[in-house]
Amino acid sequence: MARFGTVVTAMVTPFAPDGSLDLDAARDLARWLVDHGTEGIVVAGTTGESAVLTDPERIDLFRAVREAVTVPVVAGATTNDTAHSVEMTRAAAAAGVDAVLAVVPYYNKPSQAGLDGHFRAVAAASDLPVMLYDVPGRTGRALAADTIVRLAAEVPTVVALKDAGGDPARPLRLAGRVPDGFEVYSGDEPLNLGFAAYGAVGVVGVASHWTAPRQRALFDAVAAGDLAAARRLDAELQSSYRFMNTDERVFSQSVKVALEVLGVRVGECRLPLGPAPAGSDDEARRVLADCGFAL
């Protein structure tokens, strides 16, 4: 079984109508996700609007979700500042989370040597397992395979990669170069079928807020060699994936609209995202009906 579960959901962060952090809603959402098939939770990742959370809010969120569920909780504790990332990793460990999601420092565009040093500093800040997060479309810098291999081989707590680099074959190329037990997760849901076929153990997803059982079934079908079933599931999931990210709406907004349609209280996004555009709820109803929800 994958260390953090096959389907790990990057949870949105609930806000009250006045824009304040709603910890009770966060606890309720975490439990709802587990009840609906999520096997692990990322808290305060990009989808969780980490960029607009204060440090105390993030720490309170780590603690609240950890207290609410028994599945692995992975903290989005890092930023593009190494010293700040070290501080927040220590705080996450004190809050009792199970692991840290460590994103490539964004905007700075460090060299591979800088990335190596950054991730070593984060790993040294606690005993928590570290999941590297490569998402060059957001950070402006890709994490090279040689850097991943070196960190995995030399830093015992670097145990996984969330790969949103758009190359489903990378798990295959990393296999044999990284230690046994190092796991690659798809970080791009529309590419799950390819990632699964090339050896990814699961997905850190967003549409998984409501599609977790089907995404788990897809990975199970690939593992069982039933590619026909996997392709069928992948086709069924595409409408949810398309709903997630458009020119008018991004992941956090889309998820919050869908959850509100389902009766799960999460509020709107903080600026600069703000509320989803008009008509998004109608789109969400169509997508959720396709997934079998009775609305």
Three-class secondary structure of residue 186 per DSSP: strand
For residue 262 the two structure tokens come to: 């389902």
Q: Please give the C-alpha separations between residue 226 and each of 172, 218, 231, 238, 285, in angstroms, as whole numbers.
A: 19, 9, 9, 19, 31
CB contact at 8 A, 280 and 256: no
Identify residue 118 by its one-letter amino acid code: H
If we measure between CA atoms, which residue out of 199, 197, 201, 209 comes closest to residue 257? 209
Q: What are phi and psi of 253, to 5 degrees?
A: -65, -45
CB contact at 8 A, 70 and 37: no
Torsional sign, CA 35, 257, 240, 137: negative
Angle, helix 280-290 to helix 251-261, in steps of 10 degrees: 70
Bin 129: left if φ > 0, else alpha if -120 < ψ < 50, else beta. Answer: beta
User: What is the C-alpha separation between 51 and 36, in angstroms, rounded?
Assistant: 27
The residues assigned a catalytic role are 133, 162
User: What is the C-alpha separation between 43 and 2, in angstroms, rounded?
Assistant: 18
User: What is the C-alpha separation between 286 and 295, in angstroms, rounded?
Assistant: 10
